[in-house]
Structure 1
Amino acid sequence: MKKTSVALGAALLALSAQSAFAQSSVTLYGLVDTSVRYLTNANAKNDSQVSMGEGVETPSRFGLKGSEDLGGGTSAVFKLENQFQLWSGKFDNSNNTLFQRNAYVGLSNNQYGTLTFGRQQTPFFDVMGNTYDPMTVGDFWQDSYVFNPVGPFLFTNNSAKYTGQFGGLHVEGMYGFGGVAGSTGENSMYGVTVQYALGNLLADVGFQQNDVSGKKFNIVNVSAAYALTPELKLLAGWLHSQDNTGLADLDMQQSGAPTLARVSPNRIDDSFYVGSTWQVISPLALTFAGYYDHARNSANADGTLGVGVNYSATILAEYSLSKRTEVYGTVDFTRGTGTFLADYPGRNNQTGVAVGIRNIF
């Protein structure tokens, strides 16, 4: 009888383990992307440059994500995601962070939403990168300069994040713990986005505030996307940022731009964008994007403060060779005046032409 009980217990344990494994999943995923790019006025001598670098829209990455069914519509979830330079094989950050893009764990419920903890993308980055920005917060300076002030704050360490879907309403909220003894607000972050779907129209409004040693960076976004047809979408939006940290002036600069004598204690940017994505035929997609930024109280190279205007236009063509592999080409032009002259390494305009290849796994 004792042997029978032991055998029965072992069988039940094995069946239980098989059931648990059947309800759990771990996925290895990623993409590899690189481009060869020609750029005019790439240095102070206004020389042109040909170089290999990041893709126009998607930096190379790999990650692990998983879920375990806990029953009752609730699952435990996690994600670990790294970003790297395909052309050099190095980490794509200056401090050798292994999981630069995401490192979180949490709980997800079919009815009540998802709550996660760790290093995570902000709600602002989620909506702009996934839905509203025509270039998905692109990688080339000429395509993404309006996002440069918020660039250091697209990911947040030590954060709690909630995501919920309630019919046509999509809500995301995040709080980043500053971790400073005696000051709960210092180096903290909070952000929220609210998106609503009504027929073919998607609209979103959001706010994010970051504290840097007691000084604030704020950004507001108002965005819309409208599907004229399943193949053709129109996109537009407004970004308003106010920076008291001084980082926006520095982050707007390209490599090789003149050193700033000082930065602004209160820079304000109003940026507008329009664009469209068009699936012309099954393998061919076209993206058109235009950006305009008006900066006030921003830094000139000589240390004075003033007004600047920068604008750019981009055309991107993507051709799918398979479900996982595509080639692409892009042409862009950008020009700046006023305080934006401090952001260019040479003349105040640049033209870029690039071709690249992307594989998703």
Structure 2
Amino acid sequence: MPFATRRRLGYAAACLSFASSALLVPASAHAEVTLYGLIDTAIRYETNANASDGKLFSASQGSFTGSRWGIKGTEKLAPDLETFFVLESGFSLDDGTSLQGTKSAGFGQASSNGAGRLFGRQAFVGVRGSYGALSVGRQYSLGYTAMGAAQIFNNPNLDTLIVASNYVGSRLDNTVKYTLDAGGFSLGTAYTFGNAASDTHANSGVGVTAGYTAGGVNGTLLYQRLTSADGTQSRNTFGFSTGAAFGAWRATAGYLHSQLTEVETRSNVMLLGLSYNPLPALTLGVGGFVDWQAQPGGKRTAVYGMADYQLSKRTDVYLEVDHNNISGKYTLIASQGTYGSKVGVSLGLRHTF
């Protein structure tokens, strides 16, 4: 056999051997990727839906949870160290469009020109171990997570039920977050990069939380500062959340004080909630809040109730009723057309996968 032929055969054999070895290398036994989601929709009736105080009967988003799908994963790097990531997309079940669009930049948000984001709910990667977790990307703000514990059904989805996230922001872009849980104590710190040339202060933010959990009782303190897109104004917010579970009952409470530095708009928010499980599959709950606003002045009061029944591990149905009253010069919520009262009723179906 000629030397050139032997050389080509030897090269081909080496390539086949390398390829076979690569194919036989098993995937990491410690890596895991999960596709998950939640679909929540409702038929809703509400009053005071436009400037003429009209009534609205519609297909609606879920009252307390928004529809989403996502991918999350972990990989073990060492016995006590792993990487993790989350990519989560919010969407409207009504027409299939992506949500979480931002019309203009400011207070920790980059502009999407109003368009929905592919992974608008969450998009981050990080590492975690016994010394805590460090993550980078678009994430829930520390204030949003802390104030979720002050509301009986966590942070809600409809604007008739939302108040805390109006001040602490739900998600922040370009954020580095560190959290630690140890012996019942919890600590969180976060910094949001404004990504503005020649101005590190513009559109930036900082946040700190400290909490403690013992048995069925928990409490968290928070402070957060977010800055406008041009860096001339800051929203400073501090507050607390607390909760207690006793048997089939659970109670929550919270307080927020928020102030815009330049225009001196100040808001004080009190939140309360109570739930009861008469059956393992049935949850009954009531909640509410009062938001007192100074400069320019006004008040918003809201109360709501929900009965939720689990048809299975993944599917539940619920009935939700809410009432809002807005007075003074308080800014109207998006779904309310005139000052005064607004009533809403939702019959919903929710499925997780």
Equivalence for 1:211? 227
User: Structure 2 CA distance, aligned partners of 1:237 and 1:289?
Assistant: 11
Equivalence for 1:293? 291
Question: After the TM superposition, which of the residue ranges 76-85 and 272-281 deviates more from structure 2?
Answer: 272-281
- Provide Cα deviations, 1:90-127, integer angstroms capped at 9, x if missing partner: 01133231100111111111x11111111111112223
Q: 2:330 aligns with which of 340, 346, 360?
A: 340
* SS of aligned partner of 1:125: helix
Asked if the contact 1:146/1:291 (under 8 Å) is kept, the reply is no
User: Structure 2 CA distance, aligned partners of 1:8 and 1:277?
Assistant: 64
Equivalence for 2:179? 163
Residue 353 in 1 paired to residue 345 in 2? Answer: yes
* SS of aligned partner of 1:142: coil
Residue 66 in 1 paired to residue 73 in 2? Answer: yes
Equivalence for 1:258? none
User: Structure 2 CA distance, aligned partners of 1:68 and 1:312?
Assistant: 44
Asked if the contact 2:147/2:240 (under 8 Å) is kept, the reply is no
* SS of aligned partner of 2:116: coil
Superposed, 1:176-191 pairs within 5 Å as: 176-191=192-207
Residue 319 in 1 paired to residue 309 in 2? Answer: yes
Moved segments of 4+, more than 3 Å: 5-15, 341-344
Equivalence for 1:254? none
Shift of 1:181: 2.2
One-letter amino acid of the structure 1 residue matched with residue 293 of structure 2: A
Asked if the contact 2:239/2:254 (under 8 Å) is kept, the reply is yes
Superposed, 1:53-132 pairs within 5 Å as: 53-92=60-99, 93=101, 94-109=114-129, 111-129=130-148, 131-132=149-150
In structure 2, relative to structure 1, the CA distance for the partners of 1:199 and 1:182 (3 Å cut) is same
Residue 144 in 1 paired to residue 136 in 2? Answer: no
Asked if the contact 1:295/1:309 (under 8 Å) is kept, the reply is yes
One-letter amino acid of the structure 1 residue matched with residue 172 of structure 2: T
Supply the RMSD in Å over aligned alpha carbons: 2.3
- Provide Cα deviations, 1:258-289, integer angstroms capped at 9, x if missing partner: xxxxxxx2210000011112222011101110
* SS of aligned partner of 1:330: strand
Asked if the contact 1:318/1:329 (under 8 Å) is kept, the reply is yes
Total equivalences in the alignment: 326
Equivalence for 1:284? 282
TM-score, normalised via structure 2 length = 0.86
- Provide Cα deviations, 1:122-175, integer angstroms capped at 9, x if missing partner: 11222333x33223221222211353243xx32111111111111101112111
User: Structure 1 CA distance, aligned partners of 2:157 and 2:323?
Assistant: 15
User: Structure 1 CA distance, aligned partners of 2:343 and 2:69?
Assistant: 31
User: Structure 2 CA distance, aligned partners of 1:86 and 1:327?
Assistant: 16
Equivalence for 1:243? 260
* SS of aligned partner of 1:126: helix
User: Structure 2 CA distance, aligned partners of 1:280 and 1:334?
Assistant: 28
Shift of 1:221: 2.0
Shift of 1:334: 1.2
Asked if the contact 1:341/1:348 (under 8 Å) is kept, the reply is no
